[in-house]
Structure 1
Amino acid sequence: MILFPAIDLKNGECVRLVQGDMDQATVFNADPAAQAADFESQGFTHLHVVDLDGAFAGTPVNAAAVEAIIDRVRMPVQLGGGIRDIRTAEHWLRRGIRRVIIGTAAVKDPGFVREAARLFPGQVAVGVDARDGFVAVDGWARASSMNAIDLGRRFEDAGVEAIVYTDIARDGMMKGLNIEGTIALAEAIAIPVIASGGLASLADVERLCQPDCARIAGAITGRALYDGRLDPSEALATLARHAKTAHA
């Protein structure tokens, strides 16, 4: 189980949204690279970054901030937001991003996801962002007619490295992850699933360590870290303790 701290970028700053609403953005750090370095110093081993402006624009917007993060930390970084063609994916992977996350294009242009996964094995994830079970696109601004499990199954044979599953209704709300929905998706497909949206406390981390969550590969946490509800050392120690017990 990997715990990913999240950096969401808007206007070059590190922010958190409520349910993906760009008008409900709280700025937590004007220096995203410094925030990334802080996370690394706290013991996190992976980082999740989203170019929020890019997700709406359909092309990278916060490139300078992303590049500053890459240059500042050594831990692997996965990036989503505005990655909708091979050229953009290749640019970021060459620049040092470990894994690109394709969201909107996974619904609108599945052939692109398959081609990217073929060209960059082990470096392509699909973002499945769902509201009431149905996938949202264009920075969560529009709903599609496809449900989360069907979208995951679409790429079973494509070589996709992971699915990042976000319950939009819980994102930024501090109400806990949608464990049931995440487990249902993880059990329906062979691709590893990363949970996102609503992780609020150490209790949520403990919940992810229970046997029924064994197929969940990781989780993303944002606001809980920024406002102090989740202590990094306690969270990471909890994961390490459960991992040790599982392998004993």
Structure 2
Amino acid sequence: MILYPAIDLKDGQAVRLLRGEMDKATVFNDDPAAQARAFVEAGCQWLHLVDLNGAFAGTPVNAAPVEAILEACEVPAQLGGGIRDMATIEAWLDKGLARVILGTVAVEDPALVREAARAFPGRVAVGIDARKGRVATKGWAEETDVEATELARSFEDAGVAAIIYTDIDRDGAMQGPNVPATAALARAVSIPVIASGGVSSLDDLIALRDCGVALDGAISGRALYDGALDLGEALASLRD
């Protein structure tokens, strides 16, 4: 199981939000590329990037720090936030991004997800962010009646590389991931699932790894910045 260190970008800085609320942002590093290098030096295999401003604006906002990270680091990176048309998808992949994450458009324009997955095999993931099992879009600001599992199943034959499932109520709260919901989603589809939201300790990672269904990975942010989770130790434990 891959551990993805998260770098959430707001106004050019690496921050963490509490349950997705933009006015509850804690700045952890004003040099996101330096933060990315620190994660790589600790041994991470991937980086998980989010353009928070872009998620609300519907178009890339933090392009400069993302590009700086891509230039500074050799490990693959995936990015979500504000990616809502084919031109933006192509532009990011051309700049060296390994994988784009499509969230809002997965609900509003699923045909675009399918088109992108066909055009760029292995490089398109679907981000499913949910509160109490219902999908939220536009930076988690708008809630829908779409069930997370239903949305995941709708892309079963689309060729997407992964589903990134975030329990919004757990995100940034340091209360542990929603292991049962994540496991249930992973059982419902054959698409690889990456867990996100609330991963705050080594025990959380082990619980996800041993949840009874194989997960592709887990994303952690605040715990790595706060020191509650040591990246090197966590990576070593997952290898063992």
TM-score above 0.5, yes or no: yes
Number of the residue aligned with 1:173: 173
1:93-118 deviation line (CA, Å, top 9, x unaligned)? 01000000000000000010000001
Number of the residue aligned with 2:28: 28
Asked whether the equivalents of residues 209 and 215 of structure 2 are also in contact (C-alpha less than 8 Å), the reply is no
Percent of aligned pairs with the same amino acid: 62
Paired residue secondary structure (2:16): strand
Deviation of the 1:232 alpha carbon: 1.2
Asked whether the equivalents of residues 103 and 137 of structure 2 are also in contact (C-alpha less than 8 Å), the reply is yes
Number of the residue aligned with 1:153: 153
Number of the residue aligned with 2:228: 229
- Residue type of the partner of 1:50? V
- Residue type of the partner of 2:52? L
Number of the residue aligned with 2:238: 239
Asked whether the equivalents of residues 179 and 211 of structure 2 are also in contact (C-alpha less than 8 Å), the reply is no
Number of positions where the alignment pairs a residue of Structure 1 with one of Structure 2: 240
Answering whether residue 34 of structure 2 is matched by residue 10 of structure 1, we say: no
Asked whether the equivalents of residues 202 and 230 of structure 1 are also in contact (C-alpha less than 8 Å), the reply is yes
| RMSD, matched Cα | 0.7
Question: How far apart, in 2, do the equivalents of 1:237 and 1:117 lie?
Answer: 33
- Residue type of the partner of 2:223? A
After superposition, the Cα gap between the structure-2 partners of 1:31 and 1:156, relative to the gap in structure 1 and judged at 3 Å, is same
Number of the residue aligned with 2:216: 217
Number of the residue aligned with 2:206: 206
Answering whether residue 102 of structure 2 is matched by residue 102 of structure 1, we say: yes
Deviation of the 1:215 alpha carbon: 2.0
Deviation of the 1:211 alpha carbon: 5.6
Question: How far apart, in 2, do the equivalents of 1:206 and 1:180 lie?
Answer: 14
Number of the residue aligned with 1:245: none
Number of the residue aligned with 1:111: 111
Paired residue secondary structure (1:216): coil
Deviation of the 1:216 alpha carbon: 1.1
TM-score of the superposition, structure 1-length normalised?
Answer: 0.96
- Residue type of the partner of 2:12? G
Number of the residue aligned with 1:244: none
Paired residue secondary structure (2:174): coil
Asked whether the equivalents of residues 205 and 238 of structure 1 are also in contact (C-alpha less than 8 Å), the reply is no
- Residue type of the partner of 2:66? V
Paired residue secondary structure (2:136): strand
Deviation of the 1:208 alpha carbon: 2.1
Deviation of the 1:209 alpha carbon: 2.6
Asked whether the equivalents of residues 17 and 25 of structure 2 are also in contact (C-alpha less than 8 Å), the reply is yes
Deviation of the 1:39 alpha carbon: 0.2
- Residue type of the partner of 1:29? N
Question: How far apart, in 2, do the equivalents of 1:216 and 1:148 lie?
Answer: 16
1:160-183 deviation line (CA, Å, top 9, x unaligned)? 000000000000000101000000
Deviation of the 1:198 alpha carbon: 0.1
Question: How far apart, in 2, do the equivalents of 1:205 and 1:127 lie?
Answer: 20
Asked whether the equivalents of residues 9 and 49 of structure 1 are also in contact (C-alpha less than 8 Å), the reply is yes
Question: How far apart, in 1, do the equivalents of 2:236 and 2:118 lie?
Answer: 36
Number of the residue aligned with 1:123: 123
- Residue type of the partner of 1:14? A
Superposed counterparts of 1:31-70, under 5 Å: 31-70=31-70
Paired residue secondary structure (1:100): strand
Question: How far apart, in 2, do the equivalents of 1:45 and 1:215 lie?
Answer: 18
Question: How far apart, in 1, do the equivalents of 2:85 and 2:232 lie?
Answer: 38
User: Deviating runs (4+, > 3 A) in structure 1?
Assistant: none
- Residue type of the partner of 1:8? D
1:69-106 deviation line (CA, Å, top 9, x unaligned)? 00000000000000000000000001000000000000
